[in-house]
Amino acid sequence: MKYKIEKDKIIVEAGDDFDIEHILECGQIFRFYKFADGSYSVCSGDKFAKIMKNNKNYVIFSKDTNYFADFFDLKTDYSKIKNELKKDKVLAKTIPFGKGIRILKNSPLEMIFSFVISANNRIPRIKKIIEAMCEKAGENMGEYYAFPTIEKLASLPLNFYLGLGAGYRAKYLFKLAMELSGVDLNEKNKLETKELRNWLISLSGVGPKVADCILLFGFNRMDVFPIDTWTSKVYETFYNEGAKTREQMREHLVKRFGIYSGYAQQYLFYGARSYDVLKLKI
């Protein structure tokens, strides 16, 4: 896939390795908006971009082009990854539904809070709660609101979180903010995946599945396979070898897909949730 960075925009060749709908609608990010003309806007931390399709190219407009080139993982060769994964007969039939997916490199802090909110919740409501957080506590950047800083989040009372409509998760968010206050996430990123995962699980509101999503979308770790309601169905339908618990399913699938686990999980999740792949006869 070809791309080039100019002063305030990135031009990306549209095609099998980059489809903005696949990338944004596959459940890895919550702060994005689709406009009537088919263009999108995306927020990540305190950064912002607009994405428009122009003939055979996507144009990503932003004053932070280097950030978004990294965010969209433009240097990674997804054709190679998909060719490797297509050796698996289930993925061979599933990948075409989300062939333009790329795993984003999003803000770790934003991913931690977002996926704590995501637990036992629905995606439209998750988006509303996160948006409320940004509007009430994030910096007004004119065209959008930044995700709040940890300093700001740690200074807010429990009532702030109760007012977001987050339900019983409010107390987790409140505790989480204090637990993360003063923590250098860049320093945490130096840990091995297993150690980083254990630390994440020690945080309020973070269990195995939420930790795996944070590792995948916030810390760019591909040796994880989040097991949720959808991917547990995927396991039971296509990969069942007797695992009963989510932990057993996770171990089995990470062993199967290794360093490509995160990619495999996202193609399977998107296919199952958006295209009824679970009903395919494979």
Interface contacts to DNA, rule CB under 7 A:
26-28, 118-126, 162, 165, 167-168, 172, 201, 203-211, 213, 226, 228-231, 244-245, 247, 265-266, 269, 273
Q: Tell me whether residue 10 or residue 29 sits nearer to DNA (CB atom).
A: 29
Q: Tell me whether residue 159 or residue 186 sits nearer to DNA (CB atom).
A: 159
Q: Tell me whether residue 140 or residue 245 sits nearer to DNA (CB atom).
A: 245
Provide the minimum distance between the beta carbon of 139 and DNA in the complex, in angstroms, as a whole number: 26
Q: Tell me whether residue 1 or residue 201 sits nearer to DNA (CB atom).
A: 201
Q: Residue 50 is encoded by which pair of tokens? A: 């607009």
Q: Is 166 left (phi over 0), alpha (psi -120 to 50) or beta?
A: alpha
Residue of 92, 45, 33, 97 lying closest to 71 (CA atoms):
45
Provide the minimum distance between the beta carbon of 75 and DNA in the complex, in angstroms, as a whole number: 22
Provide the minimum distance between the beta carbon of 117 and DNA in the complex, in angstroms, as a whole number: 10
The identity of residue 15, as a single letter, is G
Q: Tell me whether residue 38 or residue 207 sits nearer to DNA (CB atom).
A: 207
Provide the minimum distance between the beta carbon of 50 and DNA in the complex, in angstroms, as a whole number: 23
Q: Tell me whether residue 10 or residue 150 sits nearer to DNA (CB atom).
A: 150
Provide the minimum distance between the beta carbon of 244 and DNA in the complex, in angstroms, as a whole number: 6
Q: What is the 3 state secondary structure string of the chain?
A: CCEEECCCEEEEECECCECHHHHHHCCCCCCEEECCCCCEEEEECCEEEEEEEECCEEEEECCCHHHHHHHCCCCCCHHHHHHHHCCCHHHHHHHHHHCCCCCCCCCHHHHHHHHHHHCCCCHHHHHHHHHHHHHHHCCECCCCECCCCHHHHHHCCHHHHHCCCCHHHHHHHHHHHHHHCCCCHHHHCCCCHHHHHHHHHCCCCCCHHHHHHHHHHCCCCCCCCCCCHHHHHHHHHHHCCCCCCHHHHHHHHHHHHHHHHHHHHHHHHHHHHHHCHHHCCC
Provide the minimum distance between the beta carbon of 9 and DNA in the complex, in angstroms, as a whole number: 27
Provide the minimum distance between the beta carbon of 43 and DNA in the complex, in angstroms, as a whole number: 17
Residue of 216, 166, 221 lying closest to 193 (CA atoms):
221
Provide the minimum distance between the beta carbon of 211 and DNA in the complex, in angstroms, as a whole number: 6
Name the β-bridge partners of 44.
47
Q: Tell me whether residue 141 or residue 183 sits nearer to DNA (CB atom).
A: 183
Q: Tell me whether residue 47 or residue 209 sits nearer to DNA (CB atom).
A: 209
